[in-house]
């Protein structure tokens, strides 16, 4: 909150009195209901009804979030809104830096994070230059023809089992063969 401290008027301002608790959750419940109702659509649902529900839901959510954003400035004096505008702009610039900048993409690639979702091949030169695994370009080729994985009952439990065993091998708690044997036994139980 560097921007707040930079404004003498904001620094000297008395803390705002807490607002009275909201007695009705109507705006929240309406916004949530308009999202939840989409789950009730079936292939037989008439298109005009779906479009109407989507339009009404979008309108309600738009009004809700506009109101929430307006409340962010509710306790700020008119003379101090310039400082708050700067803070909002700085927050937006930080979000853009963290998601779409060359520096962040480079750091993510060099430190082994997942690849950033950017369509800028020059950001990935260092990733492609690494020697292991040998065919890193295949990662990008695979993005051209994505396949939705099948829905498997108890998939999360299976994935957790595999992840725990891989961590045990990485930490030296299990040898790879024991981990494979354990994985087979535990996955067979989950599949039954």
Residues 167 and 129 in one domain: no
Whether the predicted pLDDT of 33 surpasses 50: yes
**DSSP label at residue 25:** -
Look up the domain containing 90 and give its range: 2-9+26-100
User: How many Cα neighbours within 13 Å face the side chain of 66?
Assistant: 6
80-94 residue pLDDT tens: 777 777 887 888 888
Extract the tokens encoding 114: 């997942």
Which residues does 177 contact at the CB level (< 8 Å), separation at least 6? Answer: none
104-118 residue pLDDT tens: 877 777 776 666 666
Note the pLDDT of residue 133: 65
Residues 85 and 62 in one domain: yes
Residues 63 and 83 in one domain: yes
**Using omega within 30 degrees of 0 as the cis cutoff, is the peptide bond preceding 128 cis?**
no
- Is 83 among the domain residues? yes
- Is 163 among the domain residues? yes
d(CA 17, CA 36): 35
**For residue 34, which of 52, 14, 10, 8 has the smallest C-alpha distance?**
52
Residues 182 and 169 in one domain: yes
Whether the predicted pLDDT of 164 surpasses 80: yes
In this prediction, residue 101 has a pLDDT band, given cuts at 50, 70 and 90, of: confident
Residues 35 and 86 in one domain: yes
Whether the predicted pLDDT of 74 surpasses 90: no
Residues 96 and 115 in one domain: no
Residues 92 and 117 in one domain: no
């Amino acid at each position: 909150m560097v921007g707040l401290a930079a404004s003498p008027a904001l620094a000297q301002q008395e803390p705002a009195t807490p607002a009275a608790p909201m007695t009705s959750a109507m705006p929240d419940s309406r916004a949530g209901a308009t999202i939840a109702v989409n789950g009730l659509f079936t292939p037989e649902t008439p298109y005009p009804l779906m479009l109407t529900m989507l339009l009404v839901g979008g309108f309600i959510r738009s009004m809700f979030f506009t109101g929430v954003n307006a409340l962010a400035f509710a306790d700020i004096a008119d003379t101090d809104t310039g400082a708050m505008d700067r803070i909002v702009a700085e927050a937006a610039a930080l979000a853009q830096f963290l998601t779409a900048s060359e520096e962040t993409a480079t750091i993510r690639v060099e430190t082994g994070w997942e690849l950033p979702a950017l369509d800028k091949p020059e950001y990935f030169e260092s990733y492609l230059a690494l020697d292991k695994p040998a065919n890193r370009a295949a990662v990008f080729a695979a993005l051209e023809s994505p396949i939705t994985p099948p829905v498997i009952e108890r998939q999360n439990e299976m994935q957790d089992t595999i992840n725990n065993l891989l961590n045990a091998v990485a930490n030296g708690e299990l040898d790879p063969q024991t981990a494979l044997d354990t994985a087979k036994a535990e996955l067979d139980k989950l599949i039954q």
